[in-house]
Amino acid sequence: MEKQILEELYGKLRELIPDFETREEGNKNYISYKMQINDKDFETSVVITNGRAVAITGKRTYIYQIKEKSCEQFNNEVQTRYPLFQIYGGNGNISVGRRLLFDSVDELVTNIREFNSVCKAVIPQFEGSCVNFLVKTREEETYDPTQTFTPLEEESSNEKNADYVDSFVKDQQEYCKKTFYELAEGTEPVTKGNDVSFIRNEGDGSLKVTMDKNAPEDLKLDYAYVVDDQELAYIAIANITSTYKELEAFYNEKKRMLHVYSYVTPDKYLPDEPKEGIELLKEAIHNSLETAKKSTVSGEQVSANMQVLMNEQLEEIRLKTEELESSRTQIEEERGAFEKEKEAFLNEKNQMEAELEEERTKLQEKEAELEERENAIAEQESINDEEKAKYALSMKNLTGEIARLQARLGQGSAAKEDSGEVAKLKSRLNSVTKARASMEKTLNNENNELRRKNKELSDLLLEKTQETDKLKEDVHDQAVHLFDSEKAEYLKKIEDLQKIADIAGEEMSPERCEKMLNEDGVYGDVSILHGARNDIVSCSYSENFSVKVVFGPIPFADVCKKLKRVDTKSLSKLNDEVADVKFFTKEDGVYARKYISRRITEEELRSVLSELIGYFDDDKKRR
């Protein structure tokens, strides 16, 4: 028995039985413990073989009188109520036994718990109806409750008042031999080492029954069936192990034989159990193969499907090639039209720039004219200022002369000639004053007119400058927009053309695939394996994932995930739902396979591998 299984069993058993003892001898493991039933210990032993066969036995011996007639009624009643148990009361003893095969630790612990419950039910019933505690048949009990329980195999068969369980084991071995030879009727059993076996044809397959001649406690039933399709056989094994928990299966690739086997413990109370076990093997292998066939496609069908697929792809390539040529012609025509439109636009742009340059020259001339006028105005203003100064000086001199002459006239000393002189000076002063007023009015009018014209020219210059700048900006924006839109459209057509061209591009090769997987950085141990018919690019995705891309007559990609148990119902459902992916199992795990084109692109191959991994990778699904 595997150490890991024993440790798990002992751990879970302590939750049920806190105190028990264990030991190992040969290919058997022993567990001994005591139960308190009616204030006394009830010794119990569990014997486990490497073949996962288990014998659970317990016994109590009495020093009191046993009512044999009551025992007969008791035995019939408990055998009807507990048909899977071997319960016997009589000859001063009560013995309880159970033999079984187990698949899991939980199943064995459940059976031990059930055994204890049955003991606690039947022993009080036996003591109440079959034991007369008022009459002793011996003075002392025949066992010491403080001693460790001795397994049945170590007890002497010659001992007086031999243990019934010892007899039971012997009877069981005899019955096992009897059953074996009844099943072997018409064949010649063969002995090899400790095993004796026979083989006979059974339906469409062959049946092999094996028994240990030294310890004939159970029979191994092995049903074999010829399956040439290795892949079909492994899918059937997955179906068997998931549907029939009590059965085991394996495939002999060399002999092309699918084997299904189980162990059965012959029981005289269940005489048909071995034959039912054989029928179960036949049912399991035929049902699982039928299910496997429904979920797989024959090699011929795969080849036919691939041929149809290849024809469709070749037709698609032909159409794409024609579309490629048509697109190339269309693009060349559009490129010519675009060049003409571009040339016309550049001519219009150059003409507009020439007009702008001419307008700019005119503005510069107006600017020069404006500057010249401004200089003339400044010069005239300077002359006017000088004239004003002369008039002001003349008026000052005249005013002074008039004042002097008037002073003389006022003193009465002035001559008549002086009076006339004053009159002349006043007349002259009036003339000068009027001339000055007229001159100032004229100068002001001229200055205002010059300023008005100057402002008009400045405003016109500013307006023309703004119009020129706006026109330059509009021309630039139109040019940028035209070139950007035409460039984007042209690049898009080039990209579409490239995609079409990729369809008729070079084939995917192992070397190109290896380079791609290495560059991606998510795959490890990338290598090329060269074979007679196939080249295989092999790599790992993670600890439990392996990836293969096979380049052969029909190229395909495989993703394998290592699994101990396979849910065949989910696998069958995936095969029904996903038409272009094939799901199956082998010894090393569960597979997803997808056939690919020889001209598959790198991006398409990445997508295929990601899709196949996604069916088994829980983290990728969540993402």
Q: Give the three-class secondary structure for 480.
A: helix
What pLDDT sits at residue 1?
57
Least confident span in 68-82, 369-383, 410-424, 451-465: 410-424
Q: Are 189 and 210 in contact (CB under 8 A)?
A: no
Terminal-residue alpha carbon distance, the chain: 42
Classify residue 449: in a domain, yes or no. Answer: yes
Q: Which residues contact 592 (CB under 8 A, 6 or more apart)?
A: 558, 559, 581, 582, 583, 612, 615, 616
Regarding whether 487 and 402 lie in a shared domain, the answer is: yes
Residue 116 has pLDDT above 90, yes or no: yes
Classify residue 167: in a domain, yes or no. Answer: no
Which range of residues forms the domain containing residue 40? 3-162
Tell me what the mean pLDDT of segment 5-17 comes to.
89
- Domain end call among 243, 261, 294: 294
C-alpha distances (whole Å) from 285 to each of 100, 240, 242, 564 are: 23, 7, 13, 20
Classify residue 172: in a domain, yes or no. Answer: no
What pLDDT sits at residue 623?
45
Tell me what the mean pLDDT of segment 158-170 comes to.
49
Regarding whether 517 and 543 lie in a shared domain, the answer is: yes
What pLDDT sits at residue 206?
94
Tell me what the mean pLDDT of segment 460-487 comes to.
68
Using alpha carbons, select from 24, 31, 197, 169 the residue that is nearest to residue 97.
Answer: 169
Tell me what the mean pLDDT of segment 375-390 comes to.
77
- Domain end call among 477, 503, 529: 503
Residue 151 has pLDDT above 50, yes or no: no
Regarding whether 56 and 20 lie in a shared domain, the answer is: yes
Classify residue 276: in a domain, yes or no. Answer: yes
How do residues 259-302 score in pLDDT, each as one tens digit? 999 988 888 777 888 999 999 999 999 999 988 887 665 555 65
What pLDDT sits at residue 77?
92
- Domain end call among 294, 313, 341: 294
Classify residue 171: in a domain, yes or no. Answer: no
pTM equals: 0.34
The pair of structure tokens assigned to 425 is: 């000076």
Classify residue 562: in a domain, yes or no. Answer: yes
Regarding whether 150 and 264 lie in a shared domain, the answer is: no
Regarding whether 570 and 478 lie in a shared domain, the answer is: no
Share of the chain above pLDDT 90, in %: 24
What pLDDT sits at residue 621?
53
Question: What band does 476 get if pLDDT is binned at 50, 70 and 90?
Answer: low
Residue 192 has pLDDT above 80, yes or no: yes
Tell me what the mean pLDDT of segment 58-82 comes to.
89
Classify residue 604: in a domain, yes or no. Answer: yes
Regarding whether 111 and 204 lie in a shared domain, the answer is: no
Question: Rounded to 5 degrees, what angle do the CA atoms 56, 58, 59 make?
Answer: 155
What pLDDT sits at residue 103?
75
Q: How many domains does the chain have?
A: 4
Residue 156 has pLDDT above 50, yes or no: no
Tell me what the mean pLDDT of segment 151-173 comes to.
50
Using alpha carbons, select from 484, 500, 502, 478 the residue that is nearest to residue 331.
Answer: 500
Question: What band does 166 get if pLDDT is binned at 50, 70 and 90?
Answer: low
Regarding whether 262 and 341 lie in a shared domain, the answer is: no
Higher pLDDT residue, 528 or 141?
Answer: 528
Regarding whether 136 and 221 lie in a shared domain, the answer is: no
Regarding whether 519 and 473 lie in a shared domain, the answer is: no
Residue 8 has pLDDT above 70, yes or no: yes
Regarding whether 482 and 410 lie in a shared domain, the answer is: yes
Least confident span in 48-57, 140-149, 303-312: 140-149
Q: What are residue 58's DSSP bridge partners?
A: 44, 96
Q: CA quadruple 74, 76, 81, 84: dihedral positive or negative? A: positive
Classify residue 62: in a domain, yes or no. Answer: yes
Calculate the average pLDDT of the chain: 80
What pLDDT sits at residue 148?
37
- CATH (domain of 51): 3.30.1460.70
Regarding whether 568 and 475 lie in a shared domain, the answer is: no
- CATH (domain of 257): 3.30.1460.10
What pLDDT sits at residue 355?
83
Tell me what the mean pLDDT of segment 314-324 comes to.
86
Regarding whether 517 and 493 lie in a shared domain, the answer is: no
Residue 131 has pLDDT above 60, yes or no: yes
How do residues 529-577 score in pLDDT, each as one tens digit? 887 677 899 999 888 889 999 988 788 999 998 877 777 777 778 888 8
Q: Which residues contact 464 (CB under 8 A, 6 or more apart)?
A: 359, 363
Higher pLDDT residue, 251 or 231?
Answer: 251
Question: What band does 496 get if pLDDT is binned at 50, 70 and 90?
Answer: low
How do residues 195-236 score in pLDDT, each as one tens digit? 999 999 988 899 999 998 887 878 999 999 999 988 888 888
